Structures are given as structure tokens and as C-alpha cells.
Structure 1
Amino acid sequence: MEPKRLFKSRTNRVICGICGGVGEYFNIDPTIIRLLFVLLGCTTTGIFVYLVAAVIMPEEM
């Protein structure tokens, strides 16, 4: 069995597919993840985390 991997979503994306990919990985509605990122986005750390994830996370195959 192949281990689960975290990817940016190609189908469930609004900006980069980060929240869609995290939602698919944890089997959570991506809207909830997006709301959490919006709350974190109010801080400099949240914006930094999102930008780093956008650069580091690979695209879904």
C-alpha cells in the first residue's frame, strides 16, 4: 500500500489548490480549511505559511 501524499488539488482550487489538497488529504471539506486559512491570513505568519506551501507542495498528478 502506497503512503498518502499531500498535493495541491487540480480540481478543487480557488487560488493555488492548497486548501483543496489539504482537505482531500485529511478528508475534510476544503471550505473549512479555507476559512481557517482566512483566519490565519489576518496574521503575517498565516500569509507566510500559505506562500511557502504554494511553493513547496507539488501539483497533483
Structure 2
Amino acid sequence: MKKLYRSQHNRKVAGVLGGLAQYINMDATLLRVLFIILMFATAIFPFVLGYIIAMLAIPKDPGYIEG
């Protein structure tokens, strides 16, 4: 079973959307664009709050070695 992690190699801010894209097997850039469009089309605050909560709740990828 796959586990959701924040991406450490495909990240722009905290790796939440990069990790989610890996988990659902989707292009990370497309997911980021959709996130931004939906964020501005509805209300910005809930998306930012959701991102911050996800950043705190989803662990970093343990298989990534910085270097």
C-alpha cells in the first residue's frame, strides 16, 4: 500500500503538492496549476489553511537523502 509523503525532490514550498502528485500518479505541475486556479476561483484562505495543515500533518519522504 502506498503512503503519502511530502516530496523532498519535487517541491516548490513544502513538498505537499509534489508528494500528492506522486501519490495519485499525476504531473506535479498540473496539480499545482489546478491548486492555484481553484484557490483564486473560490476563496484563498481555506486553500492556504489546508496547505499549512497538510504541511504539518504529512511526514517528509524518509527515503530521500539530501546531498
Q: Same fold (TM over 0.5)?
A: yes
Structure-2 residue corresponding to 1:5:
3
Structure-1 residue corresponding to 2:47:
46
Aligned residue type for 1:5: K
Deviation sequence 1:4-50 (CA, Å, 0-9, x none): 10000011001100111001001100011111221243321111111
TM-score (norm 1): 0.86
Decide which of 18, 26, 30 is 1:28's aligned counterpart: 26
Structure 1 gaps, min length 5: none
Root mean square deviation of aligned Cα: 1.0
Of all paired residues, the percent bearing the same amino acid is 32
Structure 2 gaps, min length 5: 63-67
Structure 1 runs of 4+ aligned residues shifted over 3 Å read none
TM-score (norm 2): 0.80
Q: Is the 8 A contact 1:40 1:47 kept in 2?
A: no
